[in-house]
């Protein structure tokens, strides 16, 4: 390997999943030792095994403290552009009796610790990721954002997880284009400062950010946003004229205001919203909806004529009058429809009591994916046949069945569908618990 070009060796060393291995590489040869100081990326992970060994009195030799390892690597490196330090999720399984709450050896957003190494590499740094140990960080408010913003003037991507953050002393970061905050404690005024001090964000991920009551995102350059709200705020608002991709998961806000005219892909998980305000989605093409009351939610869309692909499901089964006719009333130009297991059951249940009334939009549909958890064969067949009779241009139908249906029942269902509608390309997947989807049969 020493015969490889130095630039290629550096690239390989920079891609090590755990940079702690650099220490071993330095023992291989003088060439490796010299080139290891030129790595562009450092990634350190504290695993559960490492954590337990560091606390076991019988461990000989003693485990080098995690923070010391990072300091050594950063001090030695001359070309760092990316730093990632994190505590493995497996440590979250520890009980309180197994954790020393007062310790700070894995408190990674500790400003005193970050001050020891960050200023040395801040000038070149393009990406920074810190995933803290929640047990040690949740009760300590960190001002690490202020430190990062004061010295990382070329930072493009920032990710912080599992911490209580302060925005006091925050400086503007006009170069930052991607920000991820996951399981972070913030207040409404803190989120307002994120809007003001990170004005050029194109990617924003807020996953499980707690403490917000009436949060607002107002970013002119935002292109992609993933927002998972862990609590039940009074209202949610997004003002982003250039937003194209939005994934929004929330419980039951009093109101939801979206001013996102460029939106093309929208994934919305919402229990219910008393007030759903939009100024229209003139470019929306792909929509995913998850809600207890799908029927009410889809009616909140002012116009669904631009939407070509629709995926729908419910977190649990609740018969609310959801039917395919309503879907095509609101979204008359669908070419693709994916119904999750509970959405399919609701639609089939409505069909049993009312049958199906045709809609003009049904003739546009090309493809259906149906997830089936139960099968009453005659009823299910009648429902499928009614869909195909109305969707005259349908060319592809995928039936996703689950183990509780039984292989023979599912096989017989598909065989009867193929015999009745040979014009359709049928696909059948048997979904097995704990594994990827398995194609059992494909084609006709």
Q: How many other CB atoms are found less than 10 A from the CB of residue 65?
A: 12
* Mean pLDDT within 290-303: 81
Task: Summarize pLDDT for 63-117 with one digit per residue, the tens.
Answer: 888 898 888 888 777 788 999 999 988 787 666 566 656 788 899 999 999 999 9
Question: Domain count of the chain?
Answer: 2
In a domain, 112, yes or no: no
| pLDDT for residue 99 | 64
Q: What is the C-alpha separation between 18 and 2, in angstroms, rounded?
A: 21
- Render the burial of 344-382: b for 16+ CB within 10 Å, e for the rest: bbbbbbbbeeeebeebebbebbebbbbbbbebeeeebbb
Q: What is the C-alpha separation between 236 and 241, in angstroms, rounded?
A: 16
In a domain, 334, yes or no: yes
DSSP 90-142: GGGG--GGGS-TT--TT-TT-HHHHHHHHHHHTTT--EEEEE--HHHHTTSEE
For 9, the domain range is 1-39
DSSP 78: S
In a domain, 9, yes or no: yes
Q: What is the C-alpha separation between 37 and 66, in angstroms, rounded?
A: 19
Residue with tokens 């080139």: 35
In a domain, 3, yes or no: yes
In a domain, 305, yes or no: yes
pLDDT band at 31 (very low <50, low <70, confident <90, very high): low
Helix axes 407-420, 377-390, angle to 10 degrees: 30
Contact, 111 vs 150, CB < 8 A?
Answer: no
Q: What is the C-alpha separation between 383 and 351, in angstroms, rounded?
A: 7
Q: Mean pLDDT for the chain?
A: 84
pTM as predicted: 0.87
In a domain, 418, yes or no: yes
CA distances from 331 to 53, 106, 282, 302, 337 (A): 58, 51, 13, 10, 10
In a domain, 361, yes or no: yes
Start-to-end CA distance of the chain, whole Å, equals 52
Percentage of the residues of the chain whose pLDDT score is greater than 90:
39
In a domain, 128, yes or no: no
Phi-psi region of 131 (alpha: psi -120 to 50; beta: other; left: phi over 0): beta
Instruction: Kindly give the pairing relationship between strand 224-228 and strand 245-250.
Output: parallel
| pLDDT for residue 289 | 92
* 27 pLDDT more than 80: no
Q: What is the C-alpha separation between 352 and 208, in angstroms, rounded?
A: 40
């Amino acid at each position: 390997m020493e015969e490889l070009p130095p630039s290629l060796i550096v690239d390989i060393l920079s891609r090590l999943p755990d940079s702690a291995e650099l220490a071993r590489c330095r023992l291989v040869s003088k060439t490796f030792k010299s080139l290891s100081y030129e790595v562009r990326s450092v990634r350190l992970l504290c695993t559960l095994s490492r954590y337990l060994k560091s606390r076991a009195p019988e461990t000989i030799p003693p485990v080098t403290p995690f923070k010391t390892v990072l300091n050594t690597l950063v001090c030695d490196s001359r070309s760092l552009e990316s730093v990632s330090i994190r505590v493995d999720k497996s440590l979250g399984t520890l009980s309180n009796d197994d954790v020393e709450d007062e310790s700070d050896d894995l408190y990674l957003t500790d400003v005193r610790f970050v001050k020891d190494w960050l200023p040395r590499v801040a000038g070149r740094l393009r990406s920074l990721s810190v995933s803290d140990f929640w047990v040690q960080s949740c009760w300590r408010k960190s001002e690490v954002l202020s430190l990062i913003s004061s010295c990382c003037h070329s930072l493009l991507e920032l990710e912080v997880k599992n911490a209580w953050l302060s925005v006091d002393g925050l400086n503007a970061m006009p170069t930052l284009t991607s920000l991820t905050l996951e399981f972070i404690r913030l207040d409404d005024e803190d989120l307002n400062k994120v809007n003001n001090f990170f004005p050029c964000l194109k990617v924003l991920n807020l996953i499980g950010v707690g403490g917000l009551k009436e949060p607002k995102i107002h970013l002119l350059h935002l292109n992609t946003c993933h927002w998972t709200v862990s609590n039940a705020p009074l209202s949610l608002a997004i003002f982003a004229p250039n937003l194209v991709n939005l994934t929004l998961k929330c419980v039951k806000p009093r109101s939801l205001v979206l001013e996102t005219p460029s939106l093309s892909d929208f994934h919305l998980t919402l229990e219910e919203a008393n007030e759903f305000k939009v100024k229209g989605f003139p470019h929306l093409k792909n929509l995913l909806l998850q809600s207890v009351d799908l029927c009410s939610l889809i009616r909140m869309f002012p116009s669904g004529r631009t939407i070509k692909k629709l995926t729908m499901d419910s977190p649990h089964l609740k018969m609310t009058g959801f039917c395919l006719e309503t879907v095509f009333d609101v979204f008359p130009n669908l070419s693709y429809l994916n119904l999750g297991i509970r959405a399919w059951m609701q639609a089939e249940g409505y069909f049993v009591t009312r049958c199906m009334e045709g809609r003009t939009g049904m003739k546009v549909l090309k493809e259906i994916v149906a997830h089936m958890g139960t099968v009453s064969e005659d009823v299910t067949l009648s429902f499928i046949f009614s869909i195909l009779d109305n969707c005259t241009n349908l060319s592809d139908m995928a039936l996703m069945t689950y183990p509780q249906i039984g292989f023979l029942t599912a096989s017989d269902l598909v065989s009867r569908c193929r015999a009745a509608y040979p014009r359709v390309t049928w696909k059948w997947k048997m979904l097995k618990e704990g594994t990827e989807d398995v194609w059992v049969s494909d084609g006709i």
